[in-house]
């Protein structure tokens, strides 16, 4: 089956592509190659995929790709994905996540697509207190510009299913982690700083809770949805592995045999969501999917990968310095 993958040079899309090649799918990749992209992530399968470097906002080009490559399924991962950057400047988030998604949905309408998998996020639901879970039918109350842009994309997908019958499926994963994640996100930042014996920044007191999903489990769920998911439906993908950020940081320090004295509390992120937690009864019941990797196993594998690939990570540091200066302000 031919799949058009957007954003496959990114963290999660590249995991999806690596697995897809192993499953004999034919992959057409459309990626603009922003700062967050790196073709090294898919180097081992590069010869097996068709790659177009382009912006999803380029309607003419997207149309050309659909006409030429005739994909049956679209898996739309491409996005501006970092909350802190959206707080500094929401514009690229609206351009790519909202308008870009609309362009792709529009182009897809003109072709015979079996499924358009729109990758969303748990952040569309807003935040929870210490109790409760988000269901697929929970109200959407996004709090950051990033989350608003993803919610808008979700709503566009919903409208294109309802109005035009485009077979859109919305997928809402929880926080992903694993090898190849760009070191602006919590887990790789902690690993990188700790390996360097530098202060490890933690927002506020690190009490915020995240549900950690190992990236290969997330890709696996998306394959189940491609096979058996129903058009017009929404699927949460979570792991049930909730951790306070401070506990995640301490776990990483322990694996690296570093002192907790490296922890440096910094000014909280504005509008910081306290907790996310996804109910996954739907995907478990309908598609018999559940995450296979427990947090301790996943985090050990992740740390090991970063230790072995520290050269790749360190190459990104220069680009990250100005972001870090702005967002990690000592309290
Ligand atoms: N990382 C997480 O924890 C997480 C959790 C839930 C959902 N998501 C969603 O999953 C998807 C993938 O996240 P990620 O962490 O792999 O992101 P990422 O930032 O690592 O990669 C994004 C990719 O999209 C590409 N891209 C960005 N703008 C583009 C444009 N205009 N045209 C074409 N390509 C463009 C980039 O070049 C990059 O390859 C996103 O939609 C994100 O919102 C992420």
**pLDDT, tens digit, 9 for 90 and up, residues 44-88:** 999 999 999 999 999 999 999 999 999 999 999 999 999 999 999
229 with 308, same domain: the answer is no
222 with 305, same domain: the answer is no
Whether the pLDDT of residue 24 is over 90: the answer is no
123 is catalytic: yes
| Ligand 1 atom closest to residue 82's alpha carbon, by position in its atom list | 19
222 with 167, same domain: the answer is yes
pLDDT at 331: 85
User: Residue 129 belongs to what domain range?
Assistant: 2-176+214-237
| Given the residues 31, 123, 127, 217, the one annotated as active site | 123
Task: Please count the other Cβ atoms lying within 10 Å of the Cβ belonging to residue 162.
Answer: 11
Is this model's pTM higher than 0.75 or not? yes
pLDDT average, residue stretch 80-100: 98
Which 3 state secondary structure label does DSSP give 190?
Answer: helix
From ligand 1's centre to the CA of 79, what distance in Å?
Answer: 4
What are the distances in angstroms from CA 178 to CA 30, 66, 111, 295, 303? 23, 31, 35, 10, 8
What single-letter DSSP state applies at residue 102? H
Judge whether 130 lies within some domain: yes
* CA dist., res. 117 & res. 74, Å (int): 6
Task: Look up the CATH number of the domain holding residue 307.
Answer: 3.90.25.10
């Amino acid at each position: 089956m031919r799949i058009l993958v957007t954003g496959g040079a990114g963290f999660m899309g590249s995991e999806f592509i690596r697995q897809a090649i192993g499953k004999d799918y034919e992959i057409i990749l459309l990626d603009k190659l922003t700062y967050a992209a790196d073709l090294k992530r898919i180097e081992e399968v590069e010869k097996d995929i068709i790659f177009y470097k382009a912006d999803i906002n380029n309607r003419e080009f997207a149309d050309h790709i659909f006409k030429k490559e005739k994909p049956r399924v679209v898996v739309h991962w491409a996005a501006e994905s970092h909350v802190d950057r959206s707080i500094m400047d929401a514009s690229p988030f609206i351009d790519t996540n909202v308008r870009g998604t609309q362009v792709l949905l529009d182009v897809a309408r003109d072709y015979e697509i079996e499924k358009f998998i729109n990758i969303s996020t748990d952040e569309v639901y807003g935040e929870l207190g210490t109790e409760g879970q988000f269901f697929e039918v929970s109200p959407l109350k996004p709090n950051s510009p990033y989350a608003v842009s993803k919610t808008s994309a979700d709503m566009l997908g919903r409208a294109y299913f309802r109005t035009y019958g485009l077979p859109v499926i919305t997928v809402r994963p929880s926080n992903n982690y694993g090898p190849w994640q760009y070191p602006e996100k919590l887990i790789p930042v902690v690993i990188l700083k700790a390996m360097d014996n530098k202060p490890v920044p933690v927002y506020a007191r690190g009490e915020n809770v995240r549900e950690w999903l190992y990236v290969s489990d997330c890709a696996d769920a998306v394959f189940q949805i491609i096979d058996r998911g129903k058009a017009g439906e929404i699927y949460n993908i979570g792991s049930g592995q909730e951790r306070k950020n401070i506990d995640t940081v301490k776990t990483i320090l322990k694996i690296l045999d570093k002192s907790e004295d490296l922890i440096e509390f910094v000014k909280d992120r504005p509008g910081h969501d306290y907790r996310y937690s996804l109910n996954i009864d739907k995907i478990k019941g309908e598609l018999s999917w559940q995450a296979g990797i427990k947090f301790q196993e996943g985090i050990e594998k992740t740390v090991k990968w970063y230790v072995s690939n520290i050269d790749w990570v360190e190459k990104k540091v220069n680009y990250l310095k100005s972001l870090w200066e702005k967002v990690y302000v000592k309290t």
